[in-house]
Amino acid sequence: MNKDHDRLRAIHTQVMWNRLISVVEEQAQALLRTAFGSVAREAGDLSAGVYDTRGHMLAQAVTGTPGHVNTMAVAVQHFLDRYPAEQLMPGDVLITNDPWMGTGHLFDFVVVTPVFLQSRLVAFFASTCHTIDVGGRGFTADAQSVFEEGTCIPHLKIMRQGTLNEDVLAIVQANSRNPIEVRGDLLSLITCNQVGARRLLDMLAEFRMQDVEALADHILTHSAQATRRAIARLPDGEWTAEMSIDGYDQPVRLVATLRKQGDRLTVDYEGSSKASAFGINSPKCYSDAYSIYGLKCLIAADVPNNAGSLAPFEVRAPRGCVVHPLRPSPVTARHVIGQMLPDLMFGCLEHALQGQVPAESAGSIWVLAMARDAAQGGPFNVMGVALGGTGARPTKDGLSTTAFPSGVGSIPVEITEAQSPLVYWEKEYLPGSGGAGQWRGGLAQRIVIGARDGPGFVCSAATFDRRQFAARGRNGGQSGAPGRVLLHLANGDTRPFEGKGVIAVPAGARLCVDLPGGGGFGPPRERPTELQLRDQRNGLT
């Protein structure tokens, strides 16, 4: 009888856990449907999650990026340091875009909403998304201080007992080149949290629960235990991997040492380059997020992502290095560093999981931040997302034009063309860009953009990387093709563009970007003949 009762209770708890995940997924979908900015609405550059009253993340939405989700897992604690739970009231909503206590740069606002049941705090919902403009220099890596990069909103109440704080919105809008979009995105973040709160209260009523504390303890305990069991299956040891990436004015060296003992796993970035003078630095919250994500991908992929499953991992980094820059280091293009870290984790794990680790991917997405000011005529400020290829896997080809590790999508060209005088003349697979191997690396894409009216425009190259150091192959596989940027001028000349500065595209010229491809896996001579013929038939080689 007791066994049957225990089984029924376990089933009941699992149903509630699954229901909680569906609640936060609906929260994320509400944000997708109501966001004003195309980066959130079309590319899905966002995250949503639910937390217990101690600020521990219990569940995340499937929709969203690891960089957002895993930084938000820590960010809610910072809100509670400023606004203790006992001081919050029904109708309060909190906000910040502080890079070191949020998600790594000023473009991401984090909104936290406390949930009350009969005047008693029972949970928090948090969400974030990338807004297109927060002032300053815009989306470039040229700034040499975070103070140049835009408007920083400290931990504040954007709603106080149900009343919207228009002063906060006025400050943000006054400093944005896209005031309507940024206001709409902030209101969408508030709205999606409200959707999550309503669904959670419905769930509590349905299951006759007064709070989520018992469920929270179950989720966090079982997730931590499952993750520690997964870590314990690795052999004990210490493994080091290195990676060089383009950097801004000089290459950046990333070094990671992974130490595993029993069910404990520690990453140490000792030996990595010092923080850059330019805005490619990755605040530690963002570095932690993608480091742990890379480890979980190979060690505990089946364990739901929450505070419990994140807790067994520890990330260390010297203060002032490129993965742990100190305020006021510039950080706008932080994913140039942060989104390379999962591949670095794969390099460490290759020593322990030989033959089971994918090749390197393009890593950092290329954000096409394109604009024109009023002095040039016809001002606009839009953003596109360009995707390279992922690394080949031990038993499959890499994915073409797919963002790993961020998981964001691209913005449809029709959206960008409707919001600006730009024309996408080409957007297609780049044949031969995937590294050769028994399993081929994922293909990148070529994108060609010009203006349909008279004046030219500018495009930031802040996030364009892997042009000097291509994605490396694994187990005998070859490197993917490096990225490349060209200007096709009106007179027929072609001019390459190097570095991460701002690209001036003159009137009548076209910007051509070739994204980097993923590395190959295994010796190319071992690739099955039928796959070689298929690639040739489909024009992929």
- Please write the tens of the pLDDT for every residue from 30-81: 999 999 999 999 999 999 999 999 999 999 998 889 999 999 999 999 999 9
The two tokens of residue 353 are 């999981």
Residue 100 has pLDDT above 80, yes or no: yes
pTM: 0.96
Percent of the chain beyond pLDDT 90? Answer: 95
Which is higher by pLDDT, 5 or 342?
A: 342
Q: Tell me the average pLDDT across 343-353.
A: 97
**Mind listing the pLDDT tens digit for each residue in 434-485?**
999 999 999 999 999 999 988 999 999 999 999 999 999 999 999 999 999 9
Look at residue 166 and tell me whether its pLDDT is greater than 60. yes
Q: Mean pLDDT, the chain, as a whole number?
A: 96
H or E element, residue 426:
strand 422-429
Confidence of residue 373 (pLDDT cuts 50, 70, 90): confident
3-state secondary structure (DSSP) of residue 337: helix
The pLDDT assigned to 376 comes to 78
| Per-residue 3-state assignment (H helix, E strand, C coil) for 187-216 | HHHHHHHHHHHHHHHHHHHHCCCCCCHHHH
Rounded Cα distance, 161 and 14, in Å: 34
Q: Which two tokens stand for residue 455?
A: 């004046």
Please tell me the predicted confidence (pLDDT) of residue 375. Answer: 78
194-229 confidence digits (pLDDT tens): 999 999 999 999 999 999 999 999 999 999 999 999
Confidence at residue 1, expressed as pLDDT on a 0 to 100 scale = 53
Domain boundaries, the chain: 2-211, 230-355, 358-541
Under 8 Å between Cβ of 339 and 67: yes
The secondary element (H helix, E strand) that includes residue 450 is strand 445-451
pLDDT above 80 (res 2): no
pLDDT, position 453: 86
Interval 243-298: pLDDT, tens: 999 999 999 999 999 999 999 999 999 999 999 999 999 999 999 999 999 999 99
368 pLDDT more than 90: yes
Between 2-34 and 213-232, two packed helices, what is the crossing angle to 10 degrees?
90
- Separation CA 85–CA 114 (nearest Å): 8
